Amino acid sequence: MLLHISGQTIDPQTLLSPRRTLISIGRQSADAYNVITIDDASVDLFQCQLKLSTDGWLLQNGQWRTECPKGILSRLQHACSMCMGRCVNSRPANPTYSWRMPATPTLLNGQPLPAEGALLNDGDIILCGNINIHVAESA
């Protein structure tokens, strides 16, 4: 599967690693790290995420994020360990996670996503704020 965003083509499969199992999509900002960034004010910091399942790519509205202030900047979306024991989280080794919803919902083909998310198909259009992301089969 390929994503076409504002003249860019991205293969989300290449962004996965043993420690990165979710692909976060959100506004480009110094306040939160997203794997795929969109430089547009209409896109939320925590717009949506992709997860590879046995059935294909699952798109979900919002993102799982740690409550740790430094973890929010973590490229791996888990405890970042960059605080070296000085973390303000009460349990830095075992941080609390929460589901962060975007201010404007992510739409798939013009419809809001169900709570459990939706599998992506060739030809789907994801709307993040005012930005369309076109889904295409891999070459």
74 in a structural domain? no
Which residue range forms the structural domain that includes residue 41?
2-62+101-136
Domain count, the chain: 1
132 in a structural domain? yes
Give the CATH number, domain containing residue 112.
2.60.200.20
30 in a structural domain? yes
Q: Is this structure's pTM higher than 0.95?
A: no
Per-residue confidence in pLDDT tens, the chain, 139 aa: 999 998 999 999 999 988 788 899 999 887 778 899 999 999 999 999 999 999 999 999 999 876 555 444 444 444 445 554 444 455 555 666 678 899 999 999 999 999 999 999 999 999 999 999 999 987 6
126 in a structural domain? yes
Q: What are the DSSP calls for the chain, one per residue? A: -EEEETTEEE-GGGG-BTTB-EEEEEE--SSS--SEEE--TTS-TT-EEEEEETTEEEEEESEEEESSTTGGG-TTSS---TTTT--SSSSTTS--EEEEPPSS--EETTEEPPTT-EE--TT-EEEETTEEEEEE---
